[in-house]
Amino acid sequence: MAWCSSCQRYLTPATLTAEGACPACGRDVDHPDDRPAVAAERIPWHFWLLVAGAAVYLAWRAVQGVALLL
């Protein structure tokens, strides 16, 4: 999502002009999503806690599944 600070509204990439400017006022818009570092910072820490928990659970279920075969 791009943000036009002069129009005070969000713009989808499809609505921007070919130059990447705001179609209403013609000014350059802010592209907060273009910076990967910002996107990485927005991932909350409890998301990784959930991922770690799912990994531990799946690993344990894999151990159980292998144990059934023995």
Alpha-helical segments (H) within the chain: 36-41, 45-69
Closest alpha carbon to 10 in 35, 36, 33 = 33
Pick from 3, 7, 21, 28 the residue near Zn ion by CB under 5 A: 7
* Of positions 10, 13, 15, 24, contacts Zn ion by CB under 5 A: 24
- Taking the complex as a whole, the smallest distance from the CB of residue 5 to Zn ion amounts, in Å, to 8
Residues 25-54 contacting Zn ion, CB under 5 A: 25
| DSSP secondary structure code for residue 8 in this structure | T
Q: Which residues bind Zn ion (CB under 5 A)?
A: 4, 6-7, 22, 24-25
